Amino acid sequence: MSARAKAITPLAIVIGILSFAWTEFSLNFTFHWVANDLPAAAGVDQPENFHLILPTAFIAWGLFFAAGGDNAAFGKIFLATVFGSVAALITMPLAFKTADFPDFYGIAIWVGVFAFILVMILIAGDWYYVAGTFPCFAAVFLWWIATGLDGWVPNGGGVNNSLEAGAAGAGAFGGLISTPWQWVWFDTWVTLVIGCVLGILSAKIAGALTPKPKAAAEAA
């Protein structure tokens, strides 16, 4: 096995195992373990307002390695999850108060405003990682769109707490995942942070399993 393969294989194995564990955990958490016990589709129940978003963690996980894959990268991406998601949290109510469905200009205006602000924060110093902030900002909007655009689309996040009543409004899977906008933010942010944790875990575990150059030379 080449030196490059020896260096990469432990990381690949660790990421594969953690990816399996995260996928199994997050989907069961959302659709079985922490759900309303209200049959919503064949074999699954209706998620609670708080749920985990499987693909979102992979966004922060990838950003962790893009930022360097070390302790400093963890700090940068954690801060990116805060700045990006909070900017989206503020944007959502401003957007639907500016223009109702079906006019998009309210969303467009405030996304543009906060995109400008997020870039301008670069003035504060190199600790701020705007390349990580933008995907985190976008992740909230991705889930807001997927779960029905609560506040902008009528009944988008469910009607009269309909998630508990068993009759979700417009949202993903025909309304199965229909989430109030405040919970869209919280669910996304928590899942992004989990992605940061998966990143540092995969780096630390792989680092412990990867042969050191001296040990590898002695073994040869």
Q: Which residues contact 128 (CB under 8 A, 6 or more apart)?
A: 79, 83, 121, 122
Single-letter amino acid, residue 144: W
Q: For 105-128, what is each residue's pLDDT tens digit?
A: 999 999 999 999 999 999 999 999
| pLDDT score, position 173 | 61
Q: For 173-203, what is each residue's pLDDT tens digit?
A: 666 678 899 999 999 999 999 999 999 999 9
pLDDT at 220 over 50: no
Q: Where are the beta strands (DSSP E) in the chain?
A: 35-41, 44-47
Domain ranges, ordered by start, for the chain: 3-219
How far is CA 214 from each of CA 8, 210, 211, 217, rounded to the nearest angstrom? 17, 12, 8, 5
